[in-house]
Amino acid sequence: RLLPRLQHANGSVVLTTVRLLLKYERYVKRADLLAQFAKKMVPPLITLLSSEPEIQFVALRNINIILQRRPRLLSKEIRVFFCKYNDPIYVKYEKVEVLVRICSERNSEPLLNELKEYAKEVDVDFVSCAVNAIGRLAIRFEAAAERAIAVLEELVQMKVDYCVQTCVVVLCDILRRYPGRFEAVVTTLCEHADYINAPEARAAYLWALGEYSEHIPSVASLLGAAVDSLLEEEDACVQLALVNACVKYFLKQPQRAQALVLRALQTASEKCANPDVRDRAYIYWRLLSADPSAARTVVLAEKPPVRPENSSLPEPLLEELVNELGCVSSVLQQPARQFVYARAERAGVPRGDAATTADYGTQAAVDTTPGADAAE
C-alpha cells in the first residue's frame, strides 16, 4: 500500500512514504524486497530536485539524512546533483554536500572536474566550499589524491586571490594525509607565495616550507624574507608556524640554517608582543642549546596523518531524524524535542514529560511543514 504513494505529486507525501519504508524495512527479511524498495525510492527523490528551490532545499536536507542510512542508494545518480548556473547558493551548498557523500572511487574523477568548475565562480564562500570538497575527496580516496592535487595546482596557477588561500590549506592537509608523496606541489606553492596572504593559508605555507625544506632549493631566502617581516604578522598562528619552520630547517640542514634560526629565535623571543610566540621561541632556544638530539626527537617526531572527515550524524540522532523525515526537524537536523519545548509548555504539556513532549514536537513539526494538510 505504501509504494504507490511514492508517485504522489506532493513532496510531503513522498518524504513521509520514504520515512515509513526506512522505518519498517528492518522487519523485512527478504533481500529481493529490500532491493525493490530501494529501487522504487530513487526516482521520486530525484523528481523532487525539479521543484522550486525551496522544495529542492528541503529535499536535499532529507536526502542527506537518507544517505547516511542507505549510503549506496543514489550512487548511480551523481550527475543529477550537479549544480546549475541558476541554483540559489543555499541549494548549491547542499548539492555539494550530497555529491561528496555519494562519491566513490569509481566516479571521483568526473566529480573533481565538476568541482574545479565550481571553484572558478565568483562567490567567495562557494569557491571555498568547492575547494574544501576537493580536499575531502582526496583525503577519503587515495586513488583520487593525484587527480585532486592536479586540480588544486591548476586553481593555484589561476592566481585568484581568494581561491589560492583555500587551495594552500587544502594542499597541506593532503600532504599530511599522504606523507612522503606529492612533495613537488610545494614548489608550486613557493612560486605563488606572493598570493598567499590569509593567516591560515600563510601558516599552512610556512608549515610546508619547514616540513619539506630539503626539497626546496630557495628555502633559505623564503624563510629569511618571512623572518624579516615576522613582527609585521598580526596573527599568532603565522608567527608560531614561522618559528617552527625555521627550527625544522635548522635540524635538517644545520650548517646552512644556523644564522637564520638564531635570527628568528632572537626576534621572536625579544621583540614579539605575543607571549605564546615568545614562550615557544624560548623553549626551542633552550632545547637546541641543551640537547639538539632531544630537539630533533620533539620537533621532527612523526605526526599522525590526517583522517577522513566524519560528517555523519551519531547513530542515535540519525535514527531519531529518520523517524522525523519530512518534518522541520529533518531540515534543521535537530530532533523536534530540542526546539518545541516552548510550544509544548504553552499547550499545557509539562516540560519534564519527555515522551509526551517528544510526541507533541513531532506533530508540531509536521504541522509546520508546507503541504502537510494536503498530504494528510
Backbone angles phi, psi at 141, to 5 degrees: -120, 115
**Measured distance CA(158)–CA(167) in Å, rounded:** 11
37 versus 278: the higher-pLDDT residue is 278
Residue 376 has pLDDT above 70, yes or no: no
Q: What residue spans of 192-252 are helical by DSSP H?
A: 199-211, 219-228, 236-252
Spatial contact of 172 and 306, defined as CB atoms under 8 Å apart: no
Residue 202 has pLDDT above 90, yes or no: yes
Residue type, 18: V
**Measured distance CA(239)–CA(267) in Å, rounded:** 11
Position 29 scores a pLDDT of 79
> Is residue 373 very low, low, confident or very high in pLDDT (cuts 50, 70, 90)?
very low
Which CA distances in Å does 246 have to 237, 253, 350? 14, 10, 62
Position 346 scores a pLDDT of 67
> Is residue 242 very low, low, confident or very high in pLDDT (cuts 50, 70, 90)?
very high
User: Can you tell me which residue has the cell 608567527?
Assistant: 239
Helix 161-177 × helix 199-211 angle, to 10°: 40
Check the CA dihedral 126-120-143-64 and report its sign.
positive
Residue type, 12: S
**Measured distance CA(135)–CA(68) in Å, rounded:** 20
Q: Determine what percent of the chain is predicted with pLDDT higher than 70.
A: 90
> Is residue 8 very low, low, confident or very high in pLDDT (cuts 50, 70, 90)?
confident
Which CA distances in Å does 132 have to 104, 112, 125, 136, 165? 17, 11, 11, 6, 11
Range scoring the smallest mean pLDDT among 56-60, 130-134, 178-182: 178-182
DSSP state of 232: G
**Measured distance CA(89)–CA(95) in Å, rounded:** 10
> Is residue 13 very low, low, confident or very high in pLDDT (cuts 50, 70, 90)?
confident
Q: What pTM, to 2 d.p., does this model score?
A: 0.84
Spatial contact of 204 and 170, defined as CB atoms under 8 Å apart: no
Q: Which three cell numbers stand for residue 214?
A: 630539503
Task: Convert the pLDDT of each residue in 349-372 to its tens digit.
Answer: 665 544 444 444 444 433 433 443
DSSP of 83-135, one letter per residue? PPTTS-HHHHHHHHHHHHHH--STTHHHHHHHHHHHTTSS-HHHHHHHHHHHH
Position 87 scores a pLDDT of 92
DSSP state of 314: P
Strand locations in the chain (E): none
Range scoring the smallest mean pLDDT among 30-44, 194-208, 280-294: 30-44
CA angle in degrees (0–180, nearest 5) for 288-289-291: 65
- Pick from 198, 177, 183: nearest CA to 304: 177
Task: Convert the pLDDT of each residue in 304-314 to its tens digit.
Answer: 878 877 778 88
- What does the pLDDT average to over 155-165? 92
Q: Which three cell numbers stand for residue 69?
A: 542510512
State the chain's mean pLDDT as an integer: 85
- What does the pLDDT average to over 41-46? 89
Q: Is 329 helix (H, G, I), strand (E, B) or coil?
A: helix
- Pick from 301, 265, 307, 267: nearest CA to 282: 265
- What does the pLDDT average to over 227-254? 88
Spatial contact of 276 and 236, defined as CB atoms under 8 Å apart: yes
Position 358 scores a pLDDT of 44
**Measured distance CA(258)–CA(305) in Å, rounded:** 30
> Is residue 342 very low, low, confident or very high in pLDDT (cuts 50, 70, 90)?
low
Position 12 scores a pLDDT of 85
* Nearest 10 degrees: Cα torsion 191, 193, 195, 200: 140
> Is residue 347 very low, low, confident or very high in pLDDT (cuts 50, 70, 90)?
low
